[in-house]
C-alpha cells in the first residue's frame, strides 16, 4: 500500500519530492508530506487531493512552507487549494494562518480567507480575506482589518502591507487606538519599525490635553510628536492654533506654526495672527513674529496691536501682552505707536513705552510714557495718563489758522462713552488756543500759562478751558500774535504718521515678507526614502525623542528673540 501511494504521488506531481534536491528557483510547488491521497474528477477535475494523517499535509515553494488539513493540487497549473488549519511560513519572520487558501505557484500569489492572521516580527494583522503577493512582498485586504504592534492597534477597511520597508498603507475609516490617544484618518501610511504615521486626507488625533486636525501630516506615535502641513488645527489647552504648517510635541508641551497663522484664545476671545508663532503650554505663553498682530474686542470694536514681536504670558485671567520693537495699535477712534507696548489684563493698564504717541480722533498726544486704563467690569476705556512732557495738539479745523496746543508735566484724561470727556494738565502748563464765536469767526488766540488746566471736550473738540491757580496770559487778536509765536516750545506735529486704518499698523517690511516654503505640498517627497534615512540616523530629533526648534531641532526653553527666530519647515509627502 505504501508503494502504491508513493507511485501515485510521483505520477501526479512529477519528480521526486525531496525539497533539498529541488532547484532553488523552481516554480513548481513541491510536496513535503502528502499523507492520504485521492481524486474526485467530478468535483475537482484534474486535481489531486491530499488529506492529513497523523501530521498535516505540507508543501514547499521557493522559500515558503504551507501546512493544511486538506490540499487540492492542480499540478499542471501549478496551483493548490488548501483547507483547514492552514499555516504559511516564509523564513523566520512571516507566518500566516487561515481557514482556506488559494495559492498560485507561477505568480506566488496567495488568497487566504476565514480568520486570517498574518504575523511579522512583533506585528499581527487580522482580517477576513487577505491577498499575499510573495513576489512583490505585499499583503492586501479590502474587507476590514486590524493590525496590532507593540505601540498601537490600527483598523481600516482597506490596507496594504509592504514587507520590505515594513510599511502599512491604510485607506478608508482608518483608526489608531493607543492608551494615550486615538487617531482617525481617511488615508494613513504607518511604518512598523519607527511607529511613524503619515496622514493624507482629513485626519484627527485626540489626546487627553489636545486635539489635532490636518489633511496632510506626520506623527510619531511613540512620543506623540508631529506636524500638519495642510489645513492644520490644534486645540491645545485653552488655545486653538492654525497655520500652513503646525508642529506639536506633547513631551515638551510645545507647539509652533509657520505661515498664515491664527492663534485663538478660547477664554478671552483674543486672536493672534502672524507668520511664525510658538506656544508653550507649561508657561501658558505665546510668542509670535513676522507680521504679528493681536486682535481683541474693546467696546464692541476690534483693537489691533502690532509689533515686530508679540508675546503673551500668564493664566487666562492674568494675561500679559507685550509688543516690542516698532509697536503700533489701532481702534477706530484711538490709535498710536511707540517702541513697545505692555498690556496687563489683571490691572487693565496698557503702557506705551519710549517715544509714545496716540491719536484720539483729531487730538495728538505725546509724552515720555503713556498709560491707557480699561474698566475691567465694563470693558470700556476709562482713562489715560501721559507721564512727563505731556503735550496735546489738534489742528484748527475751523479757521485752519494753526494748531490748538496744551502742555504740562503730566496729563490725565477721562473717557465717557468711548470719548475723551475731560483732560487735566498739571505743573508748568501752557496753552495756545484759537477762539471762535457762534458764527465761526475768530475772536482771538488765547496764550496762557498757569499751574494747572482742565479742558472739557465735546464732539471730540475743546468746549471749555479752565485755568487753575495763578493764570498768566491773554487773548491776542490774530494780528498781534506773530505766526512764530503761535507754537509752544517742543511743538512737533506728526499728522503724517497717524494710523488711520488697521492696515497702517504694518510697514513695507511687514507687507513684503517672503513666506517660508513648506516642503511636501507642491512637490511631494519620497517618504519611504526619508523614513529609511530617519531610522538609520541615530541623531534624528524624532528618534531621539526631542522636539524641533524648526520642525527638526530642539525648541527653546524660553521664547527666543526675533533674531533667533527661524520658521519651521515640515517634510511630508
Query: Residue 492, exposed/middle/buried by CB under 10 A (0-12, 13-18, 19+)?
Result: exposed
| Dist CA 154 CA 376 (whole Å) | 50
Question: Taking a C-beta distance cutoff of 8 angstroms, is the pair 270, 295 a contact?
Answer: yes
Give pLDDT, residue 79: 92
**Strands, E assignment, 208-267:** 210-220, 225-230, 232-236, 239-243, 245-249, 254-265
Q: According to the 3-state scheme, what is the secondary structure of 272-306?
A: EEEEEEEEECCCCEEEEECCCEEEEEECCEEEEEE
| Dist CA 357 CA 390 (whole Å) | 10
Which of 270, 257, 210 is CA-nearest to residue 237?
210
| Dist CA 413 CA 269 (whole Å) | 28
Please name every residue paired with 403 in a beta bridge, in sequence order, or none if there are none. 395
Question: Taking a C-beta distance cutoff of 8 angstroms, is the pair 255, 235 a contact?
Answer: no
Strands 30-33 and 57-61: antiparallel
Give pLDDT, residue 488: 94
310-312-313 Cα angle (round to 5): 145
Give pLDDT, residue 20: 46
Ordered per-residue pLDDT tens for the chain, 573 residues = 443 344 334 434 444 444 444 444 578 999 999 889 999 988 999 999 999 999 999 999 998 999 999 999 999 999 999 999 999 999 888 999 999 999 999 999 999 999 999 998 889 999 999 999 999 999 999 999 999 998 899 999 999 999 888 899 999 999 999 999 999 999 999 998 889 999 999 999 999 889 999 999 999 999 899 999 989 999 987 889 999 999 999 999 899 999 999 999 888 888 999 999 999 988 889 999 999 999 988 767 789 999 999 999 988 888 899 999 999 999 888 899 999 999 998 888 999 999 999 998 888 999 999 999 988 787 788 999 999 999 999 999 888 889 999 999 999 999 887 788 899 999 999 999 999 998 889 999 999 999 999 988 887 777 888 888 888 888 999 999 998 899 999 999 999 999 999 999 999 988 998 888 777 655 556 677 777 776 666 555 445 443 333 333 333 333 333 333 333 333 333
Which of 407, 402, 489 is CA-nearest to residue 445?
402
Alpha helices in 333-458 (DSSP H): none
Give pLDDT, residue 338: 95
Question: Taking a C-beta distance cutoff of 8 angstroms, is the pair 396, 526 a contact?
Answer: no
Please name every residue paired with 127 in a beta bridge, in sequence order, or none if there are none. 116, 145
Give pLDDT, residue 70: 95
Cell of 51: 488529506
Q: Residue 267: which residues within 8 A CB-CB, separation 6 or more?
A: 238, 316
Give pLDDT, residue 5: 44
**Helix %, strand %, coil % of the chain (to 5):** 10, 55, 35
pTM of full prediction above 0.85: no
Which of 161, 216, 230, 162 is CA-nearest to residue 185?
216
How many residues appear in the chain?
A: 573
Question: Taking a C-beta distance cutoff of 8 angstroms, is the pair 290, 567 a contact?
Answer: yes
Amino acid at each position: 500500500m505504501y508503494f502504491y501511494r508513493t507511485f501515485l504521488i510521483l505520477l501526479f506531481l512529477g519528480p521526486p519530492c525531496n525539497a533539498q534536491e529541488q532547484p532553488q528557483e523552481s516554480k513548481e510547488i513541491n510536496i513535503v508530506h502528502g499523507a492520504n491521497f485521492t481524486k474526485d474528477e467530478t468535483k475537482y477535475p484534474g486535481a489531486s487531493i491530499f488529506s492529513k494523517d497523523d501530521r498535516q499535509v505540507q508543501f514547499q515553494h521557493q522559500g515558503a512552507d504551507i501546512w493544511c488539513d486538506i490540499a487540492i493540487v492542480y499540478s499542471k497549473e501549478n496551483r493548490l487549494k488548501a483547507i483547514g488549519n492552514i499555516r504559511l511560513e516564509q523564513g523566520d519572520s512571516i507566518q500566516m494562518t487561515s481557514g482556506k487558501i488559494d495559492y498560485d505557484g507561477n505568480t506566488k500569489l496567495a488568497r487566504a480567507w476565514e480568520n486570517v492572521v498574518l504575523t511579522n516580527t512583533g506585528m499581527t494583522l487580522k482580517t477576513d480575506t487577505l491577498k499575499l503577493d510573495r513576489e512583490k512582498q505585499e499583503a492586501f485586504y479590502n474587507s476590514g482589518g486590524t493590525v496590532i504592534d507593540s505601540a498601537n492597534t490600527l483598523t481600516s477597511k482597506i490596507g496594504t502591507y509592504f514587507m520590505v520597508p515594513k510599511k502599512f498603507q491604510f485607506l478608508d475609516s482608518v483608526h489608531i487606538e493607543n492608551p494615550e490617544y486615538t487617531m482617525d484618518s481617511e488615508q494613513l501610511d504607518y511604518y512598523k519599525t519607527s511607529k511613524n504615521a503619515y496622514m493624507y486626507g482629513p485626519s484627527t488625533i485626540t489626546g487627553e490635553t489636545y486635539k489635532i486636525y490636518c489633511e496632510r501630516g506626520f506623527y510619531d506615535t511613540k512620543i506623540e510628536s508631529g506636524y500638519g502641513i495642510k489645513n492644520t488645527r490644534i486645540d491645545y489647552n485653552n488655545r486653538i492654533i492654525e497655520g500652513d504648517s503646525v508642529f506639536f510635541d506633547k513631551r515638551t508641551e510645545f507647539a509652533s506654526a509657520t505661515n498664515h497663522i491664527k492663534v485663538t484664545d478660547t477664554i478671552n476671545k483674543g486672536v493672534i495672527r502672524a507668520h511664525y508663532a510658538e506656544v508653550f503650554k507649561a508657561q501658558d505663553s505665546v510668542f509670535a513674529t513676522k507680521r504679528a498682530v493681536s486682535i481683541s474686542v474693546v467696546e464692541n470694536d476690534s483693537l489691533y496691536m502690532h509689533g515686530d514681536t508679540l508675546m503673551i504670558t500668564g493664566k487666562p485671567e492674568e494675561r500679559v501682552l507685550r509688543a516690542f520693537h516698532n509697536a503700533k495699535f489701532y481702534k477706530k477712534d484711538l490709535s498710536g505707536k511707540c517702541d513697545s507696548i505692555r498690556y496687563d489684563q489683571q490691572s487693565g493698564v496698557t503702557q506705551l513705552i519710549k517715544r509714545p504717541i496716540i491719536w484720539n480722533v483729531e487730538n495728538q498726544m505725546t509724552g515720555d510714557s503713556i498709560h491707557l486704563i480699561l474698566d475691567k467690569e465694563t470693558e470700556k476705556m476709562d482713562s489715560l495718563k501721559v507721564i512727563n512732557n505731556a503735550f496735546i495738539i489738534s489742528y484748527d479745523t475751523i479757521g485752519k489758522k494753526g494748531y490748538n496746543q496744551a502742555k504740562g508735566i503730566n496729563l490725565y484724561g477721562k473717557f465717557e462713552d468711548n470719548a475723551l470727556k475731560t483732560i487735566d494738565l498739571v505743573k508748568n502748563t501752557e496753552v495756545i488756543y484759537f477762539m471762535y464765536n457762534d458764527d465761526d469767526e475768530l475772536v482771538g488766540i488765547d496764550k496762557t500759562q498757569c499751574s494747572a488746566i482742565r479742558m472739557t471736550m465735546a464732539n471730540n473738540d475743546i468746549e471749555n478751558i479752565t485755568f487753575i491757580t495763578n493764570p498768566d496770559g491773554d487773548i491776542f487778536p490774530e494780528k498781534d500774535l506773530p505766526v512764530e509765536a503761535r507754537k509752544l516750545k517742543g511743538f512737533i506735529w506728526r499728522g503724517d504718521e497717524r494710523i488711520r486704518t488697521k492696515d497702517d499698523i504694518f510697514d513695507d517690511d511687514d507687507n513684503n515678507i517672503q513666506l517660508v516654503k513648506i516642503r511636501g505640498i507642491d512637490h511631494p517627497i519620497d517618504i519611504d526614502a526619508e523614513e529609511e534615512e530617519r531610522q538609520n540616523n541615530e541623531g534624528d530629533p524624532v528618534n531621539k525623542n526631542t522636539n524641533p526648534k524648526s520642525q527638526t531641532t530642539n525648541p527653546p526653553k524660553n521664547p527666543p528673540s526675533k533674531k533667533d527666530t527661524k520658521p519651521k519647515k515640515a517634510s511630508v509627502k
